[in-house]
Amino acid sequence: MVSALLLANAGVSPEDVVADYAVAVRTMAGAPAHGGPGHDRQAAWCDAEVATFLDANLDHVRLFAAAPQNVLDRLGVTDETRSRLRAL
């Protein structure tokens, strides 16, 4: 969701943010665990599990991407920081 927030803040359309999110989920599914500090639950998912997850979450991602300012406001991200992120 961090990538979705950064993309939405940069002005990427909600539909493109959703498409990127779906690609990321599909890419992680079946990929070997990277051994980082977290557990890669998606690594063991089959196609049906990916489809179920995306069906349950894409509307949420779409709403999130349509109004990134709401999340950034809640996180206390300043306008200056938002502009700097967009400039990257």
pLDDT tens digits, 25-51: 998 887 776 666 556 778 889 999 999
Q: What is the pLDDT of residue 42?
A: 81
Q: What is the pLDDT of residue 35?
A: 60
Which range of residues forms the domain containing residue 63? 2-33+41-87
Cβ contacts of residue 50 below 8 Å, gap of 6+?
25, 26, 29, 42
* H or E stretch at 30: none
Report the number of distinct structural domains present in the chain.
1
In the chain the first and final C-alpha atoms are separated, in Å, by 18
Whether the predicted pLDDT of 79 surpasses 90: yes
